[in-house]
Amino acid sequence: MDLLEYQGKQFFATYDLPVSDGEAATSVDGAVAAAERLGTPVMIKAQVHTGGRGKAGGVKFAADIDAVRAHADDILGLNIKGHIVKHLWIEKASDIAEEYYASFTLDRSAKTHLGMLSASGGIEIETVAEQNPDAIAKIWVNPIDGLTENQCRQWVLAAKLNPTVTEQVVELLLKLYRAYTEGDASLVEINPLIVTPAGKIHVLDAKVTLDDNAGFRQNLAPYDATQPRDEREAAAHEKGLEYVGLEGSVGVIANGAGLAMSTVDVVNQVGGRSANFLDIGGGADADVMAGALEVINNDPEVRSIFINIFGGITRGDEVANGIIEAMNRVDIKAPIVIRLDGTNAVVGWALLEPHLSDRLQSEPTMLEAAQLAVELAGSTPT
């Protein structure tokens, strides 16, 4: 779950990181009112889930209220790399003496947390890594041991930051690591982390990705409404389905993320393109299956549906009953191809057999089912 900048700063503030005063707004009048409360000068910043806002005209300095109104009017509705600006962040302007970079993320290959710190802030870290990799000081933190103050100080010294702010940066990085771990984040990034002319460090930008699997212990509800979803993804989200919209014509339903990804790959392998990734998880009862079929059925680009189920904990007879009942509840427009294997698959096939037709077909293997689904997608009228 990627947060908008202002949400990231609000998240950081709960861990006592130094962020600027600011307010979110969704209208020009709201932006003006926020600026009046904060006092000018302020920055008007587009809030979208992508980078390159400044180059696209989505970040503006406003010296007075007239400038606030003009910039807010220009930025709202701006298209930045396919993202339409609906939210603004109005923030007290900051004077900058130096810019740094700081982040924590997960190094999956090393199975540890990775911290990166650089005196080259304000630049995309990928660019720094490519052009001057020695400018990035890295630290690997064992999740069990955590980050100590001494490790952090050595890390800061290795990054060759201004020595006058060493202790401030050490304190900030310890708080940032706490936000990263206690907040169930997979990424926390500050770019730039600035030093003001008065010698104070300050968080000028925030990029935060939270693990939405931690929703049982974190309050993720405030961030949910601003997640970028198309109509299909929004409908699936309301039904509690794990769905990602794609651009093909074969609708995909599978149980388990791994099988769903493999199904998308196999559809591509046999010359088709998947319209979606949809993982119904375990159980696959009638309500879940009906919800999945309804979401895919409402996608006008879908010309066939491939249901690929491997029963482990999930039983084939439960899946079959779910498909049968779901088809009675949803008026399916596209033909369906089913591949069912695993626990109680034989019983499931026996239940499905009386319902097989040109609109509901079956194949014994994933490859054969994918081939048929792609063939049907190509022959079904638009």
Catalytically active residues, by annotation? 101, 189
Give the residue from 268, 292, 249, 275 showing the smallest Cα distance to 371.
268
- Distance CA(309)–CA(280), nearest Å, equals 10
Cβ atoms of 28 and 99 closer than 8 Å: no
3-state secondary structure of 103: strand
Residue listed under structure tokens 């932006």: 31
Contact 152, 104 (CB under 8 A): no
- Start-to-end Cα distance in the chain: 35
For tokens 């400038």, the residue is 67
What tokens does 136 get? Answer: 């990035």
Which of the 8 DSSP states describes residue 98? E
306 touches 280 (CB < 8 A): no
Q: Which two tokens stand for residue 360?
A: 């509901």
Helix (H, G, I), strand (E, B) or coil at 30: helix
What radius of gyration do the chain's Cα atoms show?
A: 25
CA–CA gap between residue 121 and residue 59 (Å, rounded): 17
Range 217-238 burial, b when 16+ CB lie within 10 A, else e: ebebeebeebbebeebbebbee
Beta-bridge mates of residue 276: 245
